[in-house]
Amino acid sequence: MKIVETPIKDLLIIEPSVFDDDRGYFYESFNKERFLKNDLEYDFVQDNQSFSSYGTIRGLHLQIGEFAQAKLVRCPVGKVLDVAVDLRVGSETFGQSFSIELSEENHRQLLIPRNFAHGFSVLSKNALFQYKCDNFYNKESERGIIYSDSTLSIDWQVEEDKISLSEKDKLLPTYNEYCERL
């Protein structure tokens, strides 16, 4: 397992050791001992999975307060653009976003600390997206920021007329509206 730092402190790319042969491949998608040896102390308690088609954008979502969640995300089938926005009050990189392609080809994962907004867009025909959380979901603690926020200016790499959103995600506040509530 290789750990790659991003420009945002504590937001890490995890590159597993992949063993290929003529039958396919094998890799450990998570190993708690390896995480602990790298001072990554997370107690993941919930696994989630979504299946989406091209142009779907899910996010930007987060949970706040005692129900904030760190996430280890990956895309074992298809390809997504994964996005994390630092919303840690007092962070030097507050409001900065980072995006990375996660796919079945590159096997990369993104380790997202608590108090980051998170989302992804589907870049392949379909994508299976999986993530581990270190806290249980709590509806009352759920927050978000609209994907198209002009302050964040995220390029989701999907043509505007191909974007598919949930009704809930269409109603999310802007970054500035979110920050006013802090």
Q: 13-71, pLDDT tens digit by residue?
A: 999 999 999 999 999 999 999 999 999 999 999 999 999 999 999 999 999 999 999 99
In which region does residue 41 sit, left (phi positive, over 0), alpha (psi from -120 to 50) or beta (all else)?
Answer: beta
For residue 104, the tally of other CB atoms under 10 A from its CB is 15
Max intra-chain CA distance, the chain: 55
Q: Is 131 a residue of the active site?
A: yes
* Selected catalytic residue, list 42, 118, 131, 178: 131
pLDDT reported for residue 102: 98
For residue 30, the tally of other CB atoms under 10 A from its CB is 16
pLDDT band at 182 (very low <50, low <70, confident <90, very high): confident
How confident is the model over 119-163, as pLDDT tens digits? 999 999 999 999 999 999 999 999 999 999 999 999 999 999 999
CATH tag, 43-180: 2.60.120.10
Q: Is 118 a residue of the active site?
A: no
Report CA-CA distances (Å) from 77 to 59, 67, 74, 124.
19, 29, 9, 9
Sequence-ordered list of residues with C-beta below 8 angstroms from that of 116, at least 6 positions apart, any chain: 11, 62, 84, 85, 86, 87, 88
pLDDT reported for residue 129: 98
The two tokens of residue 139 are 């509806």
Residue ranges per domain, the chain?
Answer: 43-180
Judged by DSSP in three states, 9 sits in coil
| Mean local confidence (pLDDT), 91-117 | 98
* Selected catalytic residue, list 42, 61, 107, 147: 61
Prediction pTM value = 0.96
